[in-house]
Structure 1
């Protein structure tokens, strides 16, 4: 998965601002958490792609050194173990944005304080 910048939806940007105020966690880390929460929920197939009217992130700021891992996990969830047709880079990026959008919606309900963020991390981590 290759990209230099990724724009998220206006709704996700608004929710990120609120989450940052409540938790003190930076938007890029919140996006990483949101992505993992959404990937855990499964595929986005059939869900409309969110708009690109919100914040813009540089690839390294968004995913850090784990960009390839996030791309592989997104590909695995969306394609399954043996895809007939692999997703294009554009499709994969759309799914990445979609997962971030869905995960931020979930986080905005679950995380009301920094303590709530800690509860999302398993004790064995």
Structure 2
């Protein structure tokens, strides 16, 4: 079974700005917002857009993002990868889903 090797998850400048604004508005920390956004992104059956050529913002430590729940989030990502037949690595998919999720959660009317 494939495992995550990435230690720090990079966010685009746009995603980082959206997380900062949402934290200011709601008081919810970026790691919690990212967890919510990550799950929202996994609900979309298409692969997230590539962010490798986009200006980078902050990086967040993987343990900070997931904490003790990392095995659950990795399992969700693994199932998504299998269901979609993605050829990308779990590390790549994690970065893509985290960035798409940050944007999605910032556009959500729930928060």
Equivalent in the alignment of 2:58: 55
Unaligned runs of 5+ in 2: none
TM-score, scaled relative to structure 1: 0.73
Q: Which moved more, 1:60-69 or 1:2-11?
A: 2-11
Matched, 1:5 2:3: no
Q: How many residues align?
A: 106
TM-score, scaled relative to structure 2: 0.81
Matched, 1:40 2:43: yes
Q: Summarize the alignment of residues 61-72 of structure 1 with structure 2, pairs less than 5 Å apart.
A: 61-72=64-75
Matched residue SS, 1:57: strand
Deviation digits for residues 3-42 of structure 1 (CA, Å, limit 9, x no counterpart): 3211111111011011111111001110011001111122
CA contact (8 A) 1:75 1:87 kept: no
Aligned-residue CA RMSD in angstroms?
A: 2.2
Change (3 A) 1:8 1:14: same
Matched, 1:92 2:93: no
Higher alpha-carbon Rg: 1
Equivalent in the alignment of 1:105: 103
Unaligned runs of 5+ in 1: 118-125
The structure that is strand-richer by fraction is 2
Equivalent in the alignment of 1:121: none
Looking at structure 2, the residues matched to 50 and 28 of structure 1 have their Cα atoms a distance apart, in angstroms, of 19
Looking at structure 1, the residues matched to 90 and 23 of structure 2 have their Cα atoms a distance apart, in angstroms, of 27
Structure 1 residue ranges (4+ consecutive) displaced by more than 3 angstroms after TM superposition: none
